[in-house]
Structures are given as structure tokens and as C-alpha cells.
Structure 1
Amino acid sequence: MVQYSLSTPIEYLKGVGPQRGDVIKKELGVFCYVDLLNYFPFRYVDRTRFYKIRDLTADLQQVQVLGRIVSKEVIGDKRAKRLVAQFKDDTGVIELVWFQSLKWIDKVIQVGSVYIAFSKPNEFNGRISMSHPEIELYDPSSKKAGNLTLQPVYNSTEKLKQFSLDTKGIQKVQFSLLELILNQVEEILPGYLLEKHKLISRRQAYQFIHFPANQSDLAQAQFRLKFEELFFIQLKLLRNKLLQTAKFKGAVFANVGQKFNTFYNELLPFELTNAQKKVIKEIRTNTQNGVQMNRLIQGDVGSGKTAVALMSMLLAIDNDFQACMMAPTEILAQQHYQSITSLVLADFINVEILTGSTPAKKRRTLLAKLLSGGIDILIGTHALIEDVVQFKNLGLVVIDEQHRFGVEQRAKLWKKNIIPPHVLVMTATPIPRTLAMTLYGDLDVSVIDELPAGRKPIQTLHLYESQRLRMFGFMKQEIDKGRQIYVVYPLIKESEKLDLLHLEAGAEHIAKVFPLPKYRISVVHGKMPVKDKEYEMQRFVRGETHIMVATTVIEVGVNVPNASVMIIENSERFGLSQLHQLRGRVGRGAEQSFCVLMSGNKLSREAKIRIETMVRTNDGFEISEIDMQLRGPGNIEGTQQSGTLDLKLADLANDQAILQEARESVIKIFEDDPQLANPKNQLLAAYFMTKHDGIGWNKIS
């Protein structure tokens, strides 16, 4: 007898074979039995009930009706023939209509027989009918999936359909697989977890997810498989965190010394918010226990992350360590350099900047000074990770907008000292809580959720194209008050494919409405030479120009407190996260700031939700949650590169409660049994080591 296992190649399954096997591999990425088992339906057609004819309406989706065909006839001429059957139950009569394969259908259906008709009801001239219904002779004793079940619907492709692998074809293949292999599906969660979380067995879950008899079966299967998926992600992340704590000793910042105290008491020009104080306290606790810190700071634009980072770096300096700060772009690195040097005096600490454009002579001097310990804080771009950049004693690494750096790039900074430096990661892109738990579950997370005192919330307005003159009038009022304005476009040049306003035409139009010599305009976009871009930006920073016309290049890296208005053209074309980031370019001074969202008159449902959300709230975390609901977690900026999000069934936007339940369960397990050595956790340890052999018990991803 042939032995099959979950790893058997797909072509050996009955009904597949070599040709179908090849197309399944190419189109679906399904190579063996277990891959097919985990190829889940994306929706289900509800065939658990029969509708009565009197209850049918055109707004219903596909429904099934049990009735008798009382007559049939082919009507119309050669060009417009159709087969019409009168279909009757005890509440009324409707027409079933076919326009194709008339001879075959006429031959198959029998007047006087009872059928299940399945289709979407349509309304024409006040009468309900069904076009091209699936029709099945009714057999009350049949156990076929078509009668009173939830029918799975699988994604297919044109190539698959050429091999009769539409959703019905995939159903048949899945049915064959389950009959053959279901008894080989082994349990991977221990009994105490099944009992605690009221989970059905793994075998039942696979049976019910593919062929549920009812909504209750489906719900139980989905909960079990989602819990399992999220549970093992959390097990991996939290296990890595435990390993990191055990393996990587960290520099001990035992003292809060003269630099930190002098800066806090004498040089800091503003009062820290309670949120900033809380985060600094968390960092202080992290860095004095001899274990390497890995902490993520989330904070909206303008929440004061840079001040927290600087005070953390002063803590390192007070303990005879150096610090560095890495930013994704030269503009942002320059901004951090200017911001930090404006807060500390030149003779207080030594701060330098290193980027790709640092001249060779200055670079050599700087590198020698860094190695001798003459530089306290080095700010820079990717240039910091080059092998030639060597520190005397690096104790703290600050990484800004970390999603723009890969794991390998960050790891190079860890190797800049014998004792790995503490790592502080910052992001101004608020991350939904569920996403943070999944992407950064192995990091400690701090949130700065207050804005500094005196900051006024940005007022956001939505104007249509027909209100453009009103917008121009508002711009002139603000310029007359001495303020500056950003105007952001999604495109540089006109596109034939997209009927959008673009920067070149927009700049010309604005130059006509705001003519020289009274008004001066800067134009900045990503395809300009770096020197030209920098020149135009600096003109705007110095207040020499009133309006900056730009693409999203200014999303990160320009800090102009006098700029009080952000106008976003074609705002319906931007994602929520990007709109929020752009809005954060204003509101940096004490004056009231405004964001104007310009759009066309026709808006999609999603565009309306995005714009209404922006007008209603300035809360970046609320915005990020709505953004994830609209776009899905895989499209949130930077996260699509993460293998962590390769989810088969769970949905971080809608399964927050399951994720929380799974994470809390993992935390409790590791509190009681950090090595998973207890016999009751044998299943977890065995599955984890098999499934995550790239991580292992003694490695860190």
C-alpha cells in the first residue's frame, strides 16, 4: 500500500497528476499536501438554508431556492434565444433564465422534478428572476456538500481554470486530500491550552475550515487556526527576547551624572511632558541592569522624541560611553544635527555628523577623532555602518524611522563594540497596537502620547476643486500675517494615466496667482540634484520664500516653525499615514496651523473615510488603526518586507482580541517554564524547533 505524508508532492494526489500539479505549483505556490491543506477559502457561500420565493429581493447575494419546474420553453430569435423555466414553491413562482448552452440545459432539466436553484436574484419590470442559476436535482437523502452547507470559495486564476481548477475544481481536490490525509494531522498545542482557550482539535479545525456544516463549525475552526498562527508568532518573538536577555550583556549606565543633570536643569529650553519623563525613566531602568536594551519609541510628529534621544545619549556620555544616531536620509540627519547642536553648547559635548557627502579630508579627521574618543555623539546616515567607522566605546545606538533600515544594517551597529550597545529605535509613524505586538514583539515599546505644552492642535479642512479660489485667498491671508506655506503634489510631471494635478503645472499656476516681487516660491522634488534641493529648502527655512511647492520629499526632514499651512493637492490619492505625516510638517510653532486637503468632486468610499478621519482627529494612533482597517497590515509603511506578517488566516486589523489572548498565554508559559522543559510543553518545544529551525534555541534572528 502506498504511504502518503503531509510532505508528499502535490502531483501524487488523486485528481491532480503532473500537469495539474505543475500549474498548481506555479499559480498558487502549493508544492505538497500540507501546502494545499493550508490553502484556505477566502469566503463561503451560505447554502445552509433555503429561501422562499416570496422572500427574494434584488439586494440579496447568491441564494438557493427549493422548488419544482412546472414548465420550460425556448423563446426569442436566433440572435437572442433564451431558455425560460417557471420555478414554483409554496409561496410563488419565478423565472429561471439561461442564455447559453440552451440545448444541454433543455435536455438536462425535467418538468415536474424538484430542484435546488442557486443564483443571485435579479429584478426586471418589477419581477424577480434568476439568470444562469446552478441547478441540482433535489435528493433529501444526499450528503453532498451542495445541500445545506457553507460552500468554500477558493481564489483561482485563468490558468488554473484552463485545467478545470476553478473554485469547484479546488473543492474536489481539497475533499480528496482531507479524506486521504486528515488522520495524519497531529496536534501541536498541549491539552491544557486547548481546554483553557476552548479550542477544537487541529484535525477538526482543518475539516471545518474547508467544509463547514454551519456557521458555528466555521467560527470554531477560524478561532482555533488564527489562535495557533498568532500564538507561534508570539512564541518566536518572546523566545528571541528571552534569548537576547540571556545572551547579550549590556553596558551598565550606573550614573546619572553632570552632563545629564546640567542639561536637564540649565540647558533644556522647555518643560518635558509627563510622557517624555516616563519614557526616560524606562530607558534609565533598562540601561542599569546589565542587559542590552532594545526599546522602540513611538511618538507622533512633534511629540519630542529627539529630546528623549538626546537625554538618553547624555546618560551614555555620563558613563564614559559614546552614542550615535542613524537617520535614513541626509536631510533628516542634518535636521537631527542642527536640532541637537542648538540644544547643547559646543563646549558642553562634542557632536559631529557623518554622511555620504562628507568631504574625504574631513572624514579622515572625524574617524580618527571618533576612535580616540574625541567625539561624544556621531549623527549620520547609512555611512555609520561602514567598517571604517570605529568607536572607542560605543554604548548607545539611536535609530530614527527604523522601518527604513534592514535587520542586517542594524546588526552592523551592534558589532561596533565588544559589549553590544543599547539600541533605541524611534518612529514618527504611529503603529497600531496589534502590529507593534507582531512586528516588534521582541522589543520593549514606549509611547509618547502627549504634545509639548503650548502646541495648538492643527485645524484640518477639506476643500473641493471648485473651492480653489477660497484656498488662494486663505493662503494670502496667512502670508500677510508673516507665515509660510507648503503645497504638496503627488506627481512631478503630467501623467497620461493619472488625471492628477502635478507639480510643474501647479507651480506655474501658483506663480501666476502669487507673482513676484511680493511673493517668492521654492520648488522642491526628489529628482532634483541634492545641492539644488538643499538650496531651495534652506531658502524656505531662512524665510526667504513664502511658499514651498513640493512632492512628498518633504514628508520627512524639514522643520520650519514659521510654516503654518500645509496644502495637500489630490489628497484622495494619499494614504492616511502619509497624509498624517505631511500634516505634521506644520504646527511646530506657537501659532495656529492649518492643513487643507484639496480633492476632486468624486471620491471613493475609502477616500471619503480617509479625508473625514483627517478632518476629525489629530491622534496618530487612532489614524493608524483606521489606516490598517482600510489597507490591511501588510501595506502599512515598511511592514510588507517583514516575514512576520506572512499570515495565512489571521488578520491583525480584525483579530486584535485573539492576538492579545495568544500573547498573554505565551507570556504566562515563559514565566513558568522559560526553557519549555516541562513535559506538559513538550509538544510546543518539538513543533517550535521543527518549524523554526532557522531560529533555534541558541540563535537570534
Structure 2
Amino acid sequence: MRPEILNRYFASASALKGIGAKVEKTLAGLVRPQSGEPGSADLSARLVDLLFHLPVGVIDRRNRPTINNLPPSGIVTIEAEVGRHKAPPRHNKRVPYRVEVFDETGSLPLVFFHSHGPYLERTLPEGETRFISGKIEWYDGTPQIVHPDHVLTAEQFSEMPLLEPVYPLTAGVSGKVLGKAIRQILADIPQLPEWQDAAWIAARKLPEFQTALETLHSPQDTTGLEPDSPARQRLAYDELLANQLALSLVRRHMKRATGRTIKGDGRARQNIIDALPFSLTVSQELAVSEILADMASPDRMLRLLQGDVGSGKTIVGLLAMATSAEAGTQSALMVPTDILARQHIAGIEPLAQAAGLRAAVLTGREKGAVRQQLLDDLASGDIDILVGTHALFQEGVGFADLGLVIIDEQHRFGVHQRLALQSKSKRPSDLLVMTATPIPRTLALTAYGDMDITRLTGKPAGRQPIDTRVMPLEKLDQITDGLERAVAQGKRAYWVCPLVEESDFIDKTAAEARFTSLKTRFGDKVGLVHGRMKGAEKDTVMARFKTGELSILVSTTVIEVGVDVPEASIMIIENAERFGLAQLHQLRGRVGRGSDASSCVLIYDGVLGETAAARLKTMRETEDGFIIAEEDLKLRGSGEVLGTRQSGVASFRLADLGQHGELLQAARDDAKLILETDPHLTGARSEALRIMLYLFERDDAIRLLSAG
């Protein structure tokens, strides 16, 4: 149960003056974080959502010159008497409506386009004094204000903040409406008890929680919103502590569910190693030893295996699954896409057979008698390793004894899906999460703080460096000429089409258009895959590309993760400026897997913005995924880097991990100390900490506390 003191914080914003049901619905899309759960887009905006929607800048309206002393540019606020209105001719809408205002030093025209005369007559009644604030512009040597931001009476002006916060907005919600609503909330919400350690707050000179909110929403100077300002640091630390305390509680709860010792004799594992066409890297050997030690321990394994593109995570996972089979338990490997599941089984099955193990695949495509036989074999224990998509945790899928769960590309699955798969186990199963998305350390702590972390460094022997070039779209003919020469030499290429927006349909249209244009030049050597194709169709095209029947594969980002065609040595990414760094890195990682020298061409369209230029420069300069990930965090922010908008992983509203990494470590240490000294949160500070967890919507952690 949420504490009563927070009821006001979680009340609907529709109760505020000036916010009706329609505006509230629009506000919800702007200020309420989407959880990634079905129906989350229909949620309403609450007062806490508005409070946590922080300004991104400040408009300074303190400059109050007389009319004869106006600056060349910038925002001014003048006190003037309203003079004559000059309405435009009735049938000429291109002529603006003008209102002359004056003070003792001169006069100034206010200019309004497509404006309603009666409204302006009410707002600017002739002969009355008004305070007018807006941007000064000069036209034919004469100053004017076009569409002033504010036209106020003396009484209204006395309430207007001269330092006006600028909020991220959406169509249908103005800054005035939002600012006014937030000021109403701040005047009315109850004071919350202090949950932070008093010595920490004093040492950092941080304000109280509510004071920090007031400072940010009603700034007193232009630097108050900076990430290192005391108010911003205070709120960031609150959010980070809630995150770390919740993760620590989850970890403690999961560890407490007694694991089991999973220990093999090493024979199946050795058979797989002997069947490999290469030797394990030092990093792979170290990762395997850490995982096997976890599995052999009576505690439950909760480990994240991070490896850059092509670092060999799958083999590490397979050796863990072989150990599970040696101990008489089954393993499940869950991947995000059908393509990836089938590619994994193609690589795993021959190695499993060499070790005398049976591996199978289960996705939505297995139907009827084939599916039923597979489920029967799984339930009887005849299948040692099951690879599949989210179909693995659906009803009706039962294991004889599930000992190890491996999740590939964890950030594509919500936490609920992870727990659903683990619930298939009669006894607590070990959990290994694998990701080829290198995650910055700060982000790993916030998303996977409940886990131990292993990093795979380096690449297996034989991997080729990739020559990366950045070229404008105007050079498309030159790029296509080069591609034709490469194809004539027997080389294979991916051509990835622009990510127009998060829409399979629009991405498909872009890919089809490029496919059609390349087909006129390359004929039947070009194939196409996109997200709206049926699984069997995709498989057919991929198989033709893999055998060399196709030389060029035009694709949307469905080939981003895990697709492995060692013979492909050219990657062309169109509209590369629209992709995030991590995604560009994933796509580039599809080449450089064979013995041929590989190249990547990043095509951009138009003039590059500052962020896009920095992104492409980073891609040109390094192939190190961890360097790229840190840069991506700085450029895009944490929510985008992990894809948390879609995944159900908590994203941050008050903390910026690119700026507040040092606070994160402090929050981690504090959370650890809190639970060491007061494991059930019953001490003096604990009631306030529980309120903090509820405020930041870490209710799951509270439920774990209640469950003991």
C-alpha cells in the first residue's frame, strides 16, 4: 500500500486549474514515462509526473529597458501605454495587425499575424498600461515585437517569474499552461520526511527534496538547471538511490531463493572445445571459469556476460549449457528474434551433437504435431538445450528440470519476461544474461545492478579490422560503382536502409525502394529482408545470401543482432545519421567475421547536425564497443542507449548518467550499507526510505520486503 502522504503526488493532473481532461491526456504522452507494458500509453498524467518533468533552459525577462534604449536583439520586458490599433484590410490576411505602444521615451509597434481583432482589443485596451515581454526584432531600421510572449496587467506581471523555465513541450500544451500547473502543485503538495543521510546532505550542501523541486521549477539564476547545481544533484541522487536500493532488494530476494549445485564432469564441455575450429581466447576461458564457479556454488547465479560484437559469447553460453547437461539439468536460451533463434541452433546443434547432447528450437513457427512432439520431449527430459524466442515462457511449455536460463540481448526483454522464463523451473534456476550491446559501467550498474558482471574483451583470432568511411548521399553513384567492382570479385554486401521511425511499415517501404533501384543494376544478385516478411521468407533469402547465390542483401535493422555470414565483407548503411551509435556498431559488426578485408560505408543525407557528426566521427575512429557505448551515453542519454523506451527497464527522469556517474557509485554504496545495517528497513530512517521507493515507483522492491 502506497503511504497516504503520497496520495496527493499521485493524484490526476486533471484536477488542476487550467488542465481539463483533454489537456491532461495530451500531458500524459509528454510527462508520463511509458513502461513498455501493454496499454501503458493510455495512462493518465499525475502530479508527480509534472513535478519530475524538469525544465531544460531559462528565458531571462529581467532586461527592462525604455523604448529609446532597446538592445539590437534578445528578450526585453517593457512597461508601456497602449496606443492606436491598426487592423489589416478585411480581405488581405498577409498584412499584419499592428498595435502601437509608447512610454515617455518613444513608441514601439507590436505585430500580430492572422490574429483575431476583438481578442487583441480585450488584451490591449487603448489608453491602459501593460507589461509586454518578447523578442525584439528590427524591420527597416525600426524595432518591433512580433507576437509578444506575454501581455500582462500590473497585477499579472507581479506574479510572472522574470526567469521563466523552458520545458520540453508537445502540440496542445504551452509552456505557460505547464508552468502554471506546476506552480499550483508546488504550493499544495505535502512536505515529505528526509530519507537521505544527514551527514551526506550537509557535506554536499544539498537542499531538501521539495526545495530542490521549487528551485528547478522557479529558477533564481540561469545556472540553476545545470547538472552540477545543488538542486539537480539532490534530485538525481534521490532517483539513483531509489534505483540502487530496489536492485539490491531484488538481488537479495533472488539470491535467497536457494540455488543448487550444478557441477559436471567436464566431458561434454571438452568434446565441444575439441570440435571448435579455433581455440578459446583468454577472455573466454576466464568468463567460462567465472560462470562455472557460480553454477557450482549453492547460491543462485545472477550474472551478466557483456561482450562486444563478435567476442564469442555464444560459445561461452554453450559451454555453460553443456555443464548443465552433464549435471542432469536442462538449459533454455532465449533470444529476441526468430532469425537469431534459427541462426543460434544452426551453430549450436552440430557442436551439441559432438558432445552427445540434443538441442532443439522453439519459436512461434513450430506448429501442430511437430510442436507437440517437441514439448513432449522437453517435458520428458530428452532435450538438453532449448533455443527460442519469447515462445519459451508461454503456457504449455514445461521442462523436466530447468537448471540454467540464458537470455541473449536482455534489454529487448522486460523484467517480467525474464522472471516468467525462470518460473518454468521447479527449483530456482541459474541465470546468465548475455548482451552484445557494450554497456557503459554506469548504465550496467543501474540496469543490471542485481547481477555480477563479466566482460569479454578482445575478439577471436582471425577477425579482420573494418575500414569505415563516411560519405554524403550525393556520392551514391560512386558508392554503387565501387559495390559493382566488389561484387564482380565475388564479395558480398549488406545494404541497410534508413531507420525512418519506429515503424516496420515505413522501414519496409524505404528498403523496398532501395531494393528496386539496386535490382535494375545488379539483377537477381540482390535480395531483400524486412520486419514485415514471414519467417520462412526471411530464412529463404538469408540462406541464399549465405550460400552466395545473392551478393547483396538489402535490409532494415532486422539484421542488427547476431546475424552471422562470415563471407560478407561490405556493410553500407544509408541515412546513418538517423541511427544511434550502439546500433551503428551492431550493424557494422555483421562484417569483419571472415578472412577477407572488410569495409563499412556510412552514408549521410544533407547537412549533419552536431550530434550526428560526433556520432559518425566516433564510428570512423574506433571499433571498441565500450568506447562507443560511453560516447553514446554522452550523446543520447541512458534511456535511448539501452532501448529502455521499449524494454521495461527503468529509465531516469531526474538523473543523467552521462553527468551523474559519481553519484551513482555513492548511491550503490549507500544502498549496500542501508541493507547491511537494517535488512528489513525497520529502523529510524527506513519509513522515509520506503516513501522514497514508492515515490520513484519501485513498488516491486517494497513487495519483496513484505515477502521477507
Class of the TM-score when normalised by the shorter of the 2 chains: 0.7 to 0.9
How has the CA–CA distance of structure 1 residues 55 and 625 changed in structure 2, closer, same or farther, with 3 Å as cutoff? farther
Contact 1:44/1:152, CA 8 A, preserved across alignment: yes
Distance 2:482 2:345 in 1: 34
Q: Offset of 1:234 from its aligned partner?
A: 1.7
Distance 1:180 1:151 in 2: 20
Q: Offset of 1:440 from its aligned partner?
A: 2.5
1:574-604 deviations in Å (ceiling 9; x for gaps): 4444333222221111221111223434555
**Aligned pairs (5 A) from 1:53-202:** 56-58=71-73, 60=74, 63-64=75-76, 82-85=98-101, 95=108, 97-99=110-112, 101=120, 105=124, 107-108=126-127, 118-125=133-140, 129-133=144-148, 134=150, 144-146=158-160, 149-153=162-166, 167-168=175-176, 171-172=179-180, 174-181=182-189, 184-202=191-209
Q: Offset of 1:225 from its aligned partner?
A: 1.9
Distance 2:699 2:250 in 1: 13
1:481-523 deviations in Å (ceiling 9; x for gaps): 332122233499xx9x98998444433433332357xxx3333
Residue number in structure 1 paired with 2:58 = 44
Contact 1:186/1:202, CA 8 A, preserved across alignment: no
Name the stretch that deviates more: 330-339 or 188-197: 188-197
Q: Offset of 1:85 from its aligned partner?
A: 5.0
1:9-47 deviations in Å (ceiling 9; x for gaps): 999999956x85545644435777666655654543234
Question: Percent identity over the alignment?
Answer: 36
Distance 1:541 1:81 in 2: 67
Q: Offset of 1:302 from its aligned partner?
A: 1.0
Q: Is 1:589 the counterpart of 2:594 in the alignment?
A: yes
Distance 1:280 1:404 in 2: 24
Residue number in structure 1 paired with 2:238 = 228
Distance 1:662 1:145 in 2: 38
Residue number in structure 2 paired with 1:558 = 563
**Aligned pairs (5 A) from 1:210-221:** 210-215=217-222, 219-221=229-231
How has the CA–CA distance of structure 1 residues 461 and 95 changed in structure 2, closer, same or farther, with 3 Å as cutoff? same
Contact 2:412/2:646, CA 8 A, preserved across alignment: no
Q: Is 1:305 the counterpart of 2:313 in the alignment?
A: yes
**Aligned pairs (5 A) from 1:577-656:** 577-636=582-641, 638-642=643-647, 644-645=649-650, 647-656=652-661
1:241-270 deviations in Å (ceiling 9; x for gaps): 112112x11121345633334544x34432
Find the residue that maps to 1:423 and give its secondary structure: strand
Distance 2:9 2:353 in 1: 68
Match of 2:439 among 431, 442, 457: 431
**Aligned pairs (5 A) from 1:443-454:** 443-454=451-462
Amino acid in the other structure paired with 1:552: T
Residue number in structure 1 paired with 2:32 = none
Contact 1:385/1:412, CA 8 A, preserved across alignment: yes
Contact 1:287/1:422, CA 8 A, preserved across alignment: yes
How has the CA–CA distance of structure 1 residues 661 and 143 changed in structure 2, closer, same or farther, with 3 Å as cutoff? farther
Q: Offset of 1:232 from its aligned partner?
A: 0.9
Contact 2:263/2:326, CA 8 A, preserved across alignment: no
Q: Is 1:668 the counterpart of 2:683 in the alignment?
A: no
Amino acid in the other structure paired with 1:679: A
Distance 2:494 2:289 in 1: 37
Distance 2:269 2:355 in 1: 15
1:80-102 deviations in Å (ceiling 9; x for gaps): 5634456799xxx8956444737
Distance 1:605 1:322 in 2: 50
How has the CA–CA distance of structure 1 residues 612 and 190 changed in structure 2, closer, same or farther, with 3 Å as cutoff? closer
Amino acid in the other structure paired with 2:461: A
How has the CA–CA distance of structure 1 residues 37 and 536 changed in structure 2, closer, same or farther, with 3 Å as cutoff? closer
Distance 2:466 2:634 in 1: 24
**Aligned pairs (5 A) from 1:354-503:** 354-358=362-366, 360-490=368-498, 502-503=510-511
Q: Offset of 1:424 from its aligned partner?
A: 1.0
Q: Is 1:249 the counterpart of 2:258 in the alignment?
A: yes
Please provide the CA RMSD for this pair.
Answer: 4.3
How has the CA–CA distance of structure 1 residues 692 and 302 changed in structure 2, closer, same or farther, with 3 Å as cutoff? closer
Contact 2:80/2:131, CA 8 A, preserved across alignment: no
Contact 2:508/2:531, CA 8 A, preserved across alignment: no
Distance 1:44 1:603 in 2: 27
Find the residue that maps to 1:586 and give its secondary structure: coil
Distance 1:275 1:638 in 2: 27
Q: Where does structure 1 lack aligned partners over 5 or more consecutive residues?
A: 161-165
Q: Offset of 1:363 from its aligned partner?
A: 4.6
Distance 2:360 2:88 in 1: 86
Q: Offset of 1:292 from its aligned partner?
A: 1.4
How has the CA–CA distance of structure 1 residues 597 and 275 changed in structure 2, closer, same or farther, with 3 Å as cutoff? same
Residue number in structure 1 paired with 2:572 = 567
Distance 1:88 1:589 in 2: 80
**Aligned pairs (5 A) from 1:509-588:** 509-515=517-523, 520-588=525-593
Find the residue that maps to 2:550 and give its secondary structure: coil
TM-score (normalised: structure 1): 0.81
How has the CA–CA distance of structure 1 residues 504 and 21 changed in structure 2, closer, same or farther, with 3 Å as cutoff? closer
Distance 2:249 2:457 in 1: 29
Distance 1:564 1:697 in 2: 50
Q: Offset of 1:564 from its aligned partner?
A: 0.6
Distance 1:511 1:31 in 2: 50
Contact 1:354/1:383, CA 8 A, preserved across alignment: yes
Distance 2:563 2:412 in 1: 18
Name the stretch that deviates more: 631-640 or 32-41: 32-41
Contact 1:83/1:106, CA 8 A, preserved across alignment: no
1:645-687 deviations in Å (ceiling 9; x for gaps): 3644333454434333323322333344333344344532465
Distance 1:209 1:679 in 2: 29
Distance 1:239 1:344 in 2: 37
TM-score (normalised: structure 2): 0.80
Find the residue that maps to 1:426 and give its secondary structure: strand
Match of 1:260 among 248, 253, 269: 269
Contact 1:190/1:683, CA 8 A, preserved across alignment: no
Name the stretch that deviates more: 168-177 or 404-413: 168-177
Contact 1:438/1:644, CA 8 A, preserved across alignment: no
Q: Offset of 1:422 from its aligned partner?
A: 0.7
Amino acid in the other structure paired with 1:213: Q
Find the residue that maps to 1:120 and give its secondary structure: strand
Distance 2:266 2:426 in 1: 24
Q: Offset of 1:304 from its aligned partner?
A: 0.7
Find the residue that maps to 1:651 and give its secondary structure: coil
Residue number in structure 1 paired with 2:323 = 315
Distance 2:521 2:46 in 1: 65
How has the CA–CA distance of structure 1 residues 578 and 169 changed in structure 2, closer, same or farther, with 3 Å as cutoff? closer
Q: Offset of 1:568 from its aligned partner?
A: 2.4
